[in-house]
Structure formats: structure tokens, C-alpha cells
Amino acid sequence: MMNQDNIKKGIMICGHGSRDKDAEREFGLVAAGLKKRFPSLPVEYGFLEFSAPNIHMGLNRLVEQGVKEIYAVPGMLFAATHAKNDIPSVLTTYEEKNKNLTVTYGRELGLQEDMITAFQARIYESLGLDPANPPESLYDTLLVVVGRGTSDTHANAEAAKLTRIVNENMGFGWADTVYSGVTYPSVGAGLDKLLKLGYKRVVIAPYFLFTGRLIKRIQGYVEKVAQENPSVEFIQTPYLSDHSKVIDAFENRVNEIMTGALAMQGETLMSSFKRRLAAGEVDVHHHHAEFTDPQDDTQGLSASDHAHDHEHSHSHDHSHGHEHSHSHDHSHGHEHSHSHDHSHSHEHSHSHGVYKHIGHPEGPRTMIGEGICCCFMGQFTEEILAEERDKIEADCNKTAFAHK
């Protein structure tokens, strides 16, 4: 039996991926930063979708270097569907096909003190203040934290918790959370309400690791709101990127695996996935890193936003042991029909995380026409689509502000 100390180990960072090439490059900076913290270990990274290398490619690179034990960490701020289901599915499949390989999956970045410190530093920097010598308070300023927004209630709640912590630490006059994804309030609708508080200085702070289409969409919303409110100073905070404290947070998650601390914390993301999988409770969003569904762009403009009458037929056969058949009939009302056969030991169904508040008047419907994720377009009723379409058609600017 091989001595555990002689087994070559390596680190794998698992990201979501983006159609934005700048986001790909920035993710690589994290891997480079983590490599400096673990100079004796190979460090690779990969994405679930849209980007290269995918997760399988990153894992292959580690194996090609002789690695037998992989420490995999999700490059995710919070644990939503991707961290809970999609990445564990890919890692488990890969491990099953490589019998002499052990993959241990760590925790999401979460609300570690290092992450909070990095976020606050970005905010102070945007205000022209020294994070090491901050003012006692910022009572004259409104803080608006922009979370990703998912169909996972707990992940959305973590973003709201972050807002409260940062507000208590920094002493803003008021602080609230808006979301760029599938929950509410949306960025545009939230800002519209919050400006009624009367603050003349507003900080917009996106809690995102990297750039991407969502970041650029947020910036576009803020610019439009600023044009409509010239008497208000809007300050846009940069995203986290490879801030040294972010690298610290990644290092912490790797060390949890290496020291055995992760195993002592009870149920992990991977053990939870396997338990729910055995109970038939898991719906994997995609078999990410094995194919790209061109109709699912969670980072930007979707085909459903640009066309009213189109039909799509997709067929995928993968060497990874998955067979996928997709049938899409997209009418003007965006009706979706999906049929999937996964010849995979996990028997996952293809699901888009149904969100029960999809029709909330201040939520995702306010982004119809603005590039909302195609995954959720199919959840809107024909009535909602017709109402929002009529609002946009009646607005000469044809922007999300028509939804007001």
C-alpha cells in the first residue's frame, strides 16, 4: 500500500465560466495567486460552462502530472445549485472513471472574515478612502450591495446577511440588497425604490468575484439611473477580483481539506450531494463541462430575449457516458419542452431550479428584454410575458425602465 505522504497531491479550482473572455483571464489570476501560496503543489482550474478549460480538462492536467489526490474547491461566493449539485456531479463522474484517484471537494468561499474584509476594502477604495484608516461612519451615504441572485433561498439570504455585516462595520446611513439574477428586487427596480430615501451619495457595490456580462449589465443600469438623477452622486465599486484577502479565503478552504478540518465539520457539500442523489432529490442543472447548451446563457443575452418565433433541436452524445436529447419548441410565449436521457450512473434530470417568485413585480420580470437568463424565461407565464412586452413596446427607449 502506498504511503499517504508519497501520494502526489494537487489543487483544482472549479469556476462557473462566462462568455466574457475578461472573466476567464481574471479567474486565472486567482489560480496564479493560490499557486504562490502552495508552491510545491500543482494548481489547475476549470469551468462548468462557456469557458475553457472546462473542469474535466483541468482535472486531466493534474492527472497528467501524476496527481493521485485532488483538493477541489468551488470558486463560488455562496453555495447555490452550481456548488451544491453541478460541480459535485462533474467531480464524482470523473473520480468514478479514474479508480486510482481521490477527489476531496471543499466549501464555497462563504462569508469568511477575509471575504468581508476584501469587499469592504473595495468599497473604501471606490470612495477614495484608506481601508487601513477608515472614517468612523458614512451616515450621509447609501450602500446598495448587488448580489448574484439565484433560486436558492439560503444563498440569497447570505447576500442580505453580508449587507448587514458591512453596514454595521462601515456605518452607512442606510444599506440594502438588490440582485442581478432570478430573485427580487432586481437592480433597476431596487434602485428606483431606494432613491426615494433621498440620499445624495449612493455606493453600488457588486459582490462578484470577476467581471462578466452581469457586471457590465449592472454598470449599464447604474449609468441609466444616474442620467435620470443628475443631483445624486453614484459611485460604482469594483468587483473583488484577486484581492489578497480573496486569495487568503481560497487558501483557507484548501487548508481545511489538507488538515482534515473539513471532515470534522459534519455534512459537506459532497456528502450532501451524494445523500440527496441516493434519495432521488438531485436535479443537476446541466452536465456542465461536457457540453454547452447554446440556449442557456446565465452570463448574458439569451436567444429568448431576441427572437419571438424560433424552434431548436439539439442532440448530444458524449464520451463521458452521458446521452442527452433536447427538444425545444420556443413559441412567442416561450413555451419550453425538455426531454433528457442521461445514461449515467447518477440518473440526473435536467432542471433549471424552479423559482416560485419568478413573477414578482420587482423581480426577474423587470429584466425581460434586458438579457435575463434563458433558463428562467421558460418559467414566465404567457400573461407575464405579454404584460412586460407591452410595457417595453410602449416605451420609446425600449429599456428595462419601461417596466416601471
Lookup: cell for 272: 450532501
pLDDT in tens, 314-325: 333 333 344 444
- Alpha carbons 21 and 365: distance in angstroms, whole number: 28
8-108+260-284 CATH choice from 3.30.56.10, 3.40.50.1400, 2.60.40.10, 1.20.1440.230: 3.40.50.1400
Neighbours of 38 (CB within 10 A): 17
CATH of 113-236, one of 3.40.50.1400, 3.40.190.150, 3.40.605.10, 3.40.50.740: 3.40.50.1400
pLDDT at 103: 97
Residue listed under C-alpha cell 410595457: 391
Say how far apart CA 188 and CA 403 lie, in whole Å.
Answer: 9
> By the 8 A CB rule, do 26 and 211 touch?
yes
Of 288, 268, 274, 272, give the one whose Cα is nearest residue 351: 288
**Quick check: 106 and 262 in contact, CB under 8 A?**
yes
* pTM of the predicted model as reported, rounded to 2 decimal places: 0.75
* Cβ-contact 105, 91 below 8 angstroms: yes
Instruction: Provide the residue ranges of all domains of the chain, joining segments of one domain with +.
Output: 8-108+260-284, 113-236, 303-403
Q: How far is CA 215 from CA 124, 143, 303, 362, in A?
A: 19, 17, 19, 20
What is the model's pLDDT at position 115?
Answer: 98
What pLDDT sits at residue 37? Answer: 97
pLDDT tens for each residue of 389-400:
777 676 655 554
Q: Where are the beta strands (DSSP E) in 301-401?
A: 310-318, 322-330, 349-350
- Backbone region of residue 11 per phi and psi (left: phi > 0; alpha: psi in -120 to 50; beta: other values): beta
Three cell numbers at 176? 440594502
DSSP helix/strand/coil, 342: coil
Q: Tell me the pairing of strands 322-330 and 310-318.
A: antiparallel
Q: How far apart are CA 293 and CA 326, in angstroms?
A: 9
Cell numbers 503543489 correspond to what residue? 41
For strands 349-350 and 283-284, give the pairing. Answer: parallel
* Dihedral over alpha carbons 114, 115, 116, 120 (to 10 degrees): 100
Instruction: Say how many C-beta atoms besides its own lie within 10 A of residue 54's C-beta.
Output: 23
Task: Name, in order, each residue with C-beta under 8 angstroms of 155's C-beta and a sequence gap of 6 or more.
Answer: 78, 79, 80, 148
Q: Do domains 8-108+260-284 and 113-236 have the same CATH topology?
A: yes
Position 83, amino acid: A
User: What is the rounded distance in angstroms from the CA atom of residue 15 to the CA atom of residue 389?
Assistant: 34
Q: How far apart are CA 265 and CA 273, in angstroms?
A: 16
Q: How far apart are CA 207 and CA 75, in angstroms?
A: 13
Other CB atoms within 10 Å distance of the CB of residue 190:
21
Spell out, as residue ranges, where the chain has pLDDT lower than 70.
1-5, 284-353, 355-356, 358-359, 361-378, 392, 394-404
